[in-house]
Structure 1
Amino acid sequence: MPYLGGEETVRELRRALSNPNVQSDPLRYRNTILKVIRTMSQGVDVSGLFSEMVKACATVDVVQKKLVYVFLCSYATLNPELSLLVINTLRKDCQDPNPMVRSLALRNMTNLRLPSLVEYVEQPLTAGLRDRAACVRRVAVLGWAKLHNLQPSSEIDAAVVNELYSLLRDPDPVVMVNCLRALEEILKEEGGIAINKPITHHLLNRLKECDIWGQSEVLRVLQRYRPQSEDELFDILSLLDSFLVSPHPPVMAATLSLFLSISSNLPAISLAALERVSGPLLAACGSGSREMRFAAVCHIQVSATNLNIRFTSHPRSFFSSKVKLKKLLG
């Protein structure tokens, strides 16, 4: 349902954005742009202000740039021709000395999601992969995944894929994890990223540097790897040992899945791993999150079904004051 008085509001905003007195006052100009965003969030169609907002993105004010980019990314598909002007501004911002501005420009360049502008985006993204600032590299890596998602039928240049593989050794852990995600997306039809022994051990050795979701992502991807010898298997299990009792349930669950995956031929090790995590799993059954409780119970169900682990001494763990979960008493 359109917002009442929307047309008159848009006319007032256009007059304000075009007013030289407003444009000459940075604070008033920014507040006017903020009103445009607020009006847009109320359901008013403000796409008619696209030309005025394109002019407003030519500023050194980072906050104003962020506001304008929110607007432009929302309405770019309705104004593909004018969006070319936006690309020119974004490409210029990609060379700004401020890394925050460079990363912001790259992110919004890929958020425009216009296939006709792909040719203008590729060069800044390639340069972004070699940027000295980690925040820019993080955005550039994911930008290639977005670009592939925009045109899944077109192949990403092999040189870009090789560069993404090399960035798995980037000193910034977020760049490393983003490379994993991007390569998984780009190489989806080929089965995802190729996991070999050097990559596996490199990722495991840097696992502690990653945040919770980064650790979960790395552990999930490594489930495709199979150790080449028993010695290597035990080396990997040793590296994973501390994560098996992680205080963070997603990491603990991902580690358990990897443990069970690579030690499937050694039931004694699988059983020992499940016994070690039984305490954290039972604790997760009392979590305040409904989704967490359900995931914990599902893991316990797999344990009880496949490896005959009994939980008969913990009946209270499978009930919640808010949600009655599955009763697993063996």
Structure 2
Amino acid sequence: MRIDSLLEVLDQHQVKYHFNGDATKEIHSVASLDNASAESLSFLNSPKFVTALSSTQAGLVILSEKFVADCPQAFIAVQDPYYVYSLLAQVLYPVTPPFLGVADNATVSLTAKVADNICVEANCVLQDNVVVGEYSWLAPGCVLYPDVQIGKHCRIGANVVIHKECRIGDYVQIESGTVIGGDGFGWAPQDGKWSKIPQIGRVIIGNHVAIGNNCTIDRGAIEDTIIEDHCIIDNLVHIAHNVLIGEGSAIAGQVGFAGTTQLGKYNIVAGQVGFAGHLSTVDHCHFAAKSGVTHNINQPGSYSGFPTQETSKWQKQIVRQRTLDKLARQVAALQKQIAEIE
């Protein structure tokens, strides 16, 4: 693809840029600064790698304005190189279905409504009253239970299961092995036994949501489990019944949400964070890896530790903990001295 075509993509996204070089040059791949060729696109997003800039063979480099003097190759100077790289990499490496239509060995109910320009691959099952919007793509082995609705431009990975009545918005990506709308963990104890509580809510997923591999998002017990617009969810995340994930939040791998957690908008949740049930967080919170959230978070900010607290307080505690052994030895020595005096 010619560089001028890539620049048109930036124009379409209203990205301001400063280009220097030959716009007729062809770019066909992306690569790191060290390994790039004359037909490669690369980017510089950190001063740590600026030394690689002077010797790179990349045909086009995305960088910020402050590094242009160090770049011997054609460049696009922008405010956010990482974001612009993501836009152009998507163009160079488009994700497209293998065909349009329904595979011969897919099972589609006569009452299902599927657009003409979708892709339904082998061994998919679409049960009664399923709706699939335009340009959506179901990879092999997907199962959509009755009354599921999927919007337009969605990509549903292999062996994804979406249970009855769940709703998927537009431009949603769900990676392989994920289960949407399975029963929540609802049981009533009685005399040492457990009585199943029917889970009658749904899962509602908004627009522009990305969900990783092997995630489980349980249907609500009575009300719905909700993932709002523009959320990104990594692999192996568990979201229990009646959880609300606020708009624009990012959740890393192996995070677990107990039932009825209300995560605020634009929260960042690092790996292996655990949320106890029936609590809420405000907007714009950041939870460090392995934090344990056991209470409501009422102020935006950064939180760490178990039970989680403001990161600045947690860091001070960790520093003090490292001196405990030395302090214990000092106390023991003082006790010995006192005993000798007595």
Same fold? TM cut 0.5: no
User: Which structure carries more relative contact order (alpha carbon 8 Å, separation 6+)?
Assistant: 1
What TM-score, normalized by structure 1, do the two folds share? 0.24
Which of the pair is proportionally richer in strand?
A: 2
Which of the pair is proportionally richer in helix?
A: 1
